[in-house]
Amino acid sequence: MINNYKLIYEGKAKKVFSHSDSDKVLIEFKDDATAFNALKKAKFNGKGKLNCLISARIFEHLIKNNIPTHFLELKSDNTMIAEKIKIIPLEIVVRNIAYGSLCKETTIKAGTVLAKPLIDIYLKNDELNDPLITKERIELMNILSSEDLNLIIDLTLKINVILKSFFKNIQLQLVDFKLEFGYDFKNNIILGDEISPDNCRLWDLNQKNDTIVSLDKDRFRNDLGGLIEAYSEINRRINDFT
Ligand code: TMP
């Protein structure tokens, strides 16, 4: 409970609370980190605050570039006020460089620069382990109409262009990332969730040779250490730039 706000949903990395205005919610970012569908768990003091601040700055940048998002304002360092949306149970992943599950599930080599962004859509369902899903199955399950799915794909590709250049300006390569969308009270599709090093792969471009230096949750997934230092560095670069 944040003061008198009621907890409506608790996810792996965030808690959602009711707001006195029924069209809004409060989203509190937790210090918990999970990977591989919560098979691996840990807590990093300060992660919630860093992800909340980073997400807020990125949402502001997207809004300036005419992308509709749920972000309204920061309430504190680890809590944002957002529009209440009905989340569409899909995880939309965009890949610019092959890494992670793409390389585990195909013969594509890690680090391959993709000729065009690849969109992989997963069903958001922990019990089923978030399986990769097809457009046909999405329609079959009545999750979305093909028009709304196309709208989401268009928005995702636009967001990718905006974010690639945003991160390049702060010497980061946007390898891949995951988005979630929802319907607002007017039934418009808007971007929800968060955009942070928890759901983006970001590689440091300030390296003299070709070594990959991950400044994202791969530090935890792959036991590299230094997660808070990496997230703090991203927050610092964003603040210095904007
Ligand atoms: P993947 O290579 O494991 O499929 O991940 C692709 C991108 O999506 C990566 O930036 C991490 C992000 N992601 C999430 O945000 N949540 C998830 O549950 C998964 C599996 C990936």
* CATH number of the domain to which 25 belongs: 3.30.200.20
Choose the weakest-confidence range: 4-8, 63-67, 101-105, 114-118: 4-8
Distance 231 CA to ligand 1 centre (A): 17
**Considering the domain boundaries, does residue 102 fall inside one?**
yes
Distance 104 CA to ligand 1 centre (A): 13
Of 83, 117, 142, which residue sits at a domain end?
A: 83
Write the pLDDT tens digit of every residue in 49-74: 999 999 999 999 999 999 999 999 99
Q: Please report the pLDDT score of residue 2 as a whole number.
A: 59
- Residue 6, Cβ density class (10 Å: 0-12 exposed, 13-18 middle, ≥19 buried): exposed
Distance CA 219, CA 185 (A): 38
Distance 207 CA to ligand 1 centre (A): 24
Confirm or reject: Cβ of 100 under 6 Å from ligand 1. yes
Please check whether residues 181 and 161 belong to one and the same domain. yes
DSSP code for 218: H
Distance 83 CA to ligand 1 centre (A): 24
Distance 192 CA to ligand 1 centre (A): 16
**Considering the domain boundaries, does residue 162 fall inside one?**
yes
Please check whether residues 107 and 66 belong to one and the same domain. no
* Domain residue limits at 36: 7-83
Write the pLDDT tens digit of every residue in 84-98: 999 999 999 999 999
Please check whether residues 142 and 41 belong to one and the same domain. no
45 pLDDT more than 90: yes
DSSP E strands in 53-157: the ranges are 71-76, 79-83, 86-87, 90-97, 113-123
Q: Please report the pLDDT score of residue 3 as a whole number.
A: 64
Please check whether residues 26 and 96 belong to one and the same domain. no
pTM value? 0.97
Q: Please report the pLDDT score of residue 210 as a whole number.
A: 83
Atom from ligand 1 closest to the CA of residue 37: 18
Distance 33 CA to ligand 1 centre (A): 13
**Considering the domain boundaries, does residue 2 fall inside one?**
no
Number of domains the chain is built from: 2
Average pLDDT over residues 127-145: 96
Of 32, 63, 83, which residue sits at a domain end?
A: 83
Other Cβ atoms less than 10 A from the Cβ of 180: the count is: 19
1 pLDDT more than 80: no
Average pLDDT over residues 204-233: 96
Confirm or reject: Cβ of 196 under 6 Å from ligand 1. no
Please check whether residues 98 and 19 belong to one and the same domain. no
**Considering the domain boundaries, does residue 1 fall inside one?**
no
113 pLDDT more than 90: yes
43 pLDDT more than 80: yes
Q: Which long-range contacts (CB under 8 A, 24 or more apart) does 65-68 make?
A: 65/162, 67/155, 67/158, 67/159, 67/162, 67/191, 68/155, 68/184, 68/188, 68/189, 68/190, 68/191
**Considering the domain boundaries, does residue 166 fall inside one?**
yes
CATH number at residue 200: 3.30.470.20
Confirm or reject: Cβ of 51 under 6 Å from ligand 1. no
144 pLDDT more than 60: yes
Query: Binning pLDDT at 50, 70 and 90, where does residue 242 land?
Result: confident
Nearest CA to ligand 1 atom 11: 199
Confirm or reject: Cβ of 178 under 6 Å from ligand 1. yes
Q: Which of 90, 132, 176 to mutate to test the pocket of ligand 1 (most atoms within 8 A of CB)?
A: 176
Distance 21 CA to ligand 1 centre (A): 33
Please check whether residues 71 and 113 belong to one and the same domain. no
Atom from ligand 1 closest to the CA of residue 100: 2
Of 56, 83, 110, which residue sits at a domain end?
A: 83
Please check whether residues 47 and 96 belong to one and the same domain. no
Please check whether residues 133 and 233 belong to one and the same domain. yes
Average pLDDT, the chain: 96
Confirm or reject: Cβ of 218 under 6 Å from ligand 1. no
Confirm or reject: Cβ of 201 under 6 Å from ligand 1. yes
Please check whether residues 71 and 100 belong to one and the same domain. no
**Considering the domain boundaries, does residue 39 fall inside one?**
yes
